[in-house]
Every structure is written in structure tokens, then in C-alpha cells.
Structure 1
Amino acid sequence: MNLRRSHCLRQAIIGLAFTLMDLEVRHLKVVCAVATAGSVHKAARALGVSQPTLAAQLRRIEDFLGGKLFTRHIYGCSPTMLGQQLISRARPIVDEMSSLASEMKAAACSAKPGTLVMGGFPCGVIPGWIARLREFHPTLHPVLQTGVSSRALLRDVSEGQLDVALVVELEEEPIRFPPGVARCLLIDREPVLVQFHERHPAAELATIQLTDVAADQWVANRNADGQWESIHQLLRSAGITPRVHHADYATSNLLVKAGEVVGLCQAMSEPKEGVVVRRRLEGDPRKISWFLVGRTEAFLETVYPALVAEYRSRAEILYAYGKIWDEHWVAKI
């Protein structure tokens, strides 16, 4: 009896929550994003949120509306008739609100002379880049926003919410640059590093092959564009059955430090103090490219020299890149 009462109470609370819920623009953005991406997983990456979070939000929207908006299948999902009806009405609203937000943010920034709104995929070059910008342009006031989704950063640049952004492209997940967005290539192929505990047998090697870490558990961030798929493809290409944990970057570093997992890390990231070592993968089997994108060419001309200077400085300090500068360095400006 007590269990039944508890269940009824829980259902009543859930029902009350849905009764109080209002359909907002953010809910419409979720529905449109899923429809555009064709799957909840891809939509979550585009929005820069986790898949479970987006799936739960979509379920709440469907419960509020009283019907399913998408039919799930092995290739993703497709809108139901109810979903199609909602999407056809929602898209113009979402587009108009995005345009309004972009215009207002651009107006707010223009009201503050010298403000530069920057975005970037988290990497070790960003702090020094900002410092050099202040050195090169003393009247400039950089404002930074970071995010693990290059697609989301590109969208923000395209919509005028960011002036410039540093984005990463994986070979398995080519970037689709929005029309009208200026861009230049920072580096075409950055070295691939693996990090693991100092007691790992591969720690004694100068460079490693994937077979040296074939028996290990790996870690990757499922929410970062293409990282989850890329690491699975990388391991399979070496004949290794992927065993990969999902974790954000901070948790990943803690797991590596504890000796529980191994993982890829950026060549420009700060070396971890203590028990973590990093080794370069022979042949750099995973192509990682970095691009600087901006609302206009003028923005790129302002910030690119400081970015190049910081990247070169860190590369010379952290790693002996050898001929990589001659082979892969492309300066458009």
C-alpha cells in the first residue's frame, strides 16, 4: 500500500510539473536541432550538451505536448506528423529569435569600444593568445567564451555572437563552414599525443604505437565534436576493440593521473605535473587541424598574428616539431 501511495504521489508531482511547464523558445530550438541533425546524439553535439540531458529534455517536451515528436530507428530519428507540424511552426520563430539575439549582442558589443568577443575550443594556446593580443593591441578588451563544440562556436560566429573563434577539425568530422564566415588555417596537422600514468610500460618509450596501449581502457569526451567516433575509429584501424569511458576533460585528467585509463591529449596542452607522461603516436595517425574563424577578414587580421606568435612559441618550448612547420604551416595573412 505504501509503495502504491508513493508511486501515485510521484506521478502527481510529475503531472503537476508538466502542467506548470510553458513551451519556450529553448524547447523549440531543441526540437529543430534534433530534426536538422537526424539524431539526438548529433543534435546534442551541435548544441554543446550531453546526449542524456538533451534526450531527457525532449521527453519532457513530448510529455507536455501529449505525443511523440520523433520516431526512433537504428539510423537516428525522423519527425512524426505531430513533429512535422511543430517544426514547420517552430523554425521561423527560432530563426527570428536567433537573429534578434545576434543583433542585440552585436549592438551591445559595439557600444563598448575596443571589445572583442572571442570563442575557442579549450586548448593550452588560448591564455597566451589573449596576453599577446593585449600586448599587440593595448586598447583591445578581449572577452572569452570556450566550448567543446566547434559547430556551436561556428554558429555563434555566423550569428554575430562571437567576433572570432579558434576551432578544431578532425579528419573523421570535417567542418562545414557557414557562408560568409572568414577563416584561415592555423595548422594543418598537429601531432597526436597519448597520456598515461608514469608506471605504464610504454612510459619508457620515446614514441609509441597504438599496440603499446592496446590492453588499456581509454577515455574520451562524448560531447566534443567527433572525439568519441574518432577514437573508436582510430583504435579499430589498429585492430583494437575499443574500450572507452566517457568523461569531461577535468575528470579524464583525474582518471589518467590515477592510472585507470589512457587518453589522447592536445599537443599544445600544458604538461601534467606528477605522475602523468605524454608520448607521441608514431606516424600521427589522427589528423587534427586548427582554424581561426571570424565575422570578417578584418577581425582575423587583428587577432591572427598574436595567435601565430603564441602557437609558435609554445611549439618551440614544448616539442621539437622538426619539419612540421615547413610541411604543414600555412599562413594566409
Structure 2
Amino acid sequence: MDLELRHLRVVCAIAETGSVTKAASALGLAQPALTAQLQRIERALGGPLFERDRRGARPTALGELVLDRARVLLPAMKGLRDEAARMAGAGDPLRRYRFGGVNSPILGRLVHRLAAERPDAQITTYGSWSVDELAQMVAGGRLDFALTGVCGDSAPSAGFGLSWREVAVEPICVLLPQTHPLAGRPEVDLVDLRRERWVAAPGDGCFGDCFATACARAGFTPKKVYEADVRAALDLVDAGEAVALCQATFRPVAGLVTRRLAGTPLRWRLLLGWHPDVPAAAVAEPVLAAAVAAYTDALANHPEYLGWLLAHPEFGVQPNGSGGVRIA
């Protein structure tokens, strides 16, 4: 059997978890299948790589040698793949735009604007609930831009080397059924929702912690929080089973109403990210300007919110030269 990179990943996974069983779970494999694969790797290398007993798996001297080489080879190969993906995808950046989005309210309008401005360009989109996944894909050359968001004054992970610029800042609102007792108010105090059940979209950001902190400041702990995709979340709100948090530019839905939270205890910052060392960076400023224009377009469906923005200039698009505030 010829040794392959996937075999080195198996060895590293066992060493990192300290157990064949845990490594199998981490790799998404059945434990007997991973055990058989380890045995084949050991036969190819000429000896046992781990001492295994009830306490787990510990590398042998041969295992330590293999691990030392694997920990050099695997990152090097990942770097090679990332560089190759960037080079292969370079081409003319004006002819290709690859966007990733995390529940972005402006992605559709941004694509519409770019398609009108660059009718010969190829535009593709990719959706994910994970900001880190999108950032990794941009860093690896599989996406050109990421449209995401962060709560409060937080910033995306700096570990991927991306440049981030702020598109706009929005107050977080609550989504209620029209029949809800509080639906007639222009603003709702967070504490008045203390008896409600909540529904939220999945994600790996800090928003859940920010929400819990805001509730604690209001003097309560959320009663229950469901996790569901957007369609299921709307169904839960429409059924009166839960209320949801949403961005101020959330598209109106029949039977539901959006109400601001009094005192704006939560805010959301829409961001555009890209890698500074790829060809797409050359068009980042025009894309950022298009994203800002797409956000402005979205306000047309929210006249009451637009009026509110005039009295609250700290929200909405923040003037800063050619586009948004620089984050990193």
C-alpha cells in the first residue's frame, strides 16, 4: 500500500484525540473501519505507531517520527492547494464574482446590481451558517467575497488574513405575529418579552452570547430558544409558538410584523470580507460600493425605518470615504 496524505491525517487524528474511537468519531468513520485502516498503515510503515490500552492510544517511537513528518507535510500541502486555487481562479476578476453569505439581507440586491453593471460577468453564490467556513473558503481561493455580520463591536476571526469592511449598522428588531399583544407598539421593551419562547437561526458567531447578555441586563433569562432555518423560524412565529430576532431590513412577511427593541440593546454590523493578496482585491472597493448601494436600495421597502434612521445617524451606512468602516 502506498502511503497517502489521508493516512497521515488518520495518524494525526488518533494522536490528537488519544483514542482510536474518538478519532473515528472526529473523522466521521466507523471505529472498526478506522482500526483496519490503522493496521494497513502500520504494515506499510513496518511497525506499530501506537501503544493501545484502556487508557487510550500513545505514539510509539515510530509513531512520533511519522507524526513529526506529518505535521510538516499536511500544512505544507494545504498551503499548496490554497495557492493553486488562487492562481487557478485568478483570471480576469471583473469577469467572475464568487460570493458567500450568512443570511445576508443584501446579497440578492448586490448580485442584481453587479449583473446589471457587468452583464458578461459570471456571478455565483454560496450560503452557509458559518462565518468561519466562508472566511476559510475566501482564504483558500474558493470564494472571492464573504457577506457576513457581527454583533456589537466584535470583529470576525483574524486567523484567516481577510480584510473586512463595514457596510452598515442595523438595530436588531423582534419579529412578532400580527395578533401578538405587543404588535401594535412601534417599539417593544425587551423585558416585556421575558415570557416568550424564541427561535434563532444556527451559526457560529457570538450573537447568542450577546442576546443572552442583553436579556440578563433586562433582568431575565430566555425561556426557550429553538434553532431552525429561516423558513421554519417564520412558521414558528406565524404559529404563535415563538418570537424571533431579525435585522431591521428583514423583508416584510404577510401576517408578521417587525418591531424595534426600545433602547436598541442589540445591533448588527453587516460586513464584506476579501483576501488582500488575490486578484479580486483589485475590485474590492467597487464591490463594497455596490454592497452599500444594495443596502440603501433595501431601505425603500422600510419607509418607517428610513425615517427612524434620519434621527439615529449612528445606524445605517456610516460615511467613511469610498465605503464602509475598515475592520481589519
Q: What TM-score comes out, normalization by structure 1 length? A: 0.71
3-state SS of paired residue (1:232): helix
AA matched with 1:229: D
Task: Tell me the SS of whatever aligns to 2:309.
Answer: coil
How many angstroms does 1:307 deviate by?
0.9
Give runs of aligned pairs for residues 241-320 of structure 1, distance below 5 A.
241-242=221-222, 243-273=224-254, 275-296=255-276, 297-318=281-302, 319-320=305-306
What amino acid is aligned across from residue 264 of structure 1 in structure 2?
L
How far residue 177 of structure 1 moved from its aligned partner, in angstroms, is: 2.8
Conserved in 1, the CA contact under 8 Å of 2:163 and 2:274?
yes
Shift of 1:108: 3.9
CA distance in 2, matches of 1:162, 1:178: 17
What amino acid is the match of 2:26?
A: L
CA distance in 2, matches of 1:291, 1:327: 16
- Provide structure 1 residue ranges, at least 5 long, that are not aligned to the other structure: 1-21, 36-53, 68-78
2:215 to 229, 235, 241: 235
Amino acid at match of 1:308: V
Judged with a 3 Å threshold, the aligned counterparts in structure 2 of structure 1 residues 235 and 185 are, in CA distance, closer, same or farther, namely: same
Supply the AA of the counterpart residue of 1:166. Answer: L
SS in 2 for 1:200: coil
Match of 2:131 in 1: 150
Q: In structure 1, what is the Cα distance between the partners aligned to 2:173 and 2:23?
A: 33
Question: What do the CA deviations read for 1:189-245 (whole angstroms, capped 9, x no partner)?
Answer: 311110121111111111111122111101123434223323222222211122212
C-alpha separation between the residues in 2 aligned to 1:26 and 1:117? 32
Partner residue of 2:26? 58
Please tell me whether Structure 1 or Structure 2 has the larger radius of gyration of its CA atoms.
Answer: 2
Tell me the equivalent position of 2:146: 165
RMSD: 3.7
Q: Which residue of 2 aligns with 1:185?
A: 166
> How does the TM-score come out when normalised to structure 2?
0.72
Structure 1 residue 305 displacement after superposition: 1.7
CA contact (8 A) 1:173 1:225 kept: no
Deviations 1:125-170 (A, max 9, x none): 1111001012223332211112122222222222222211112112
**3-state DSSP class of the match of 1:204?**
coil
1:199 has 2:167 as partner: no
1:175, distance to aligned residue in structure 2 (A): 1.8
Deviation at 1:26, TM superposition (A): 11
Amino-acid identity (%): 25
**Number of residues paired by the alignment?**
279
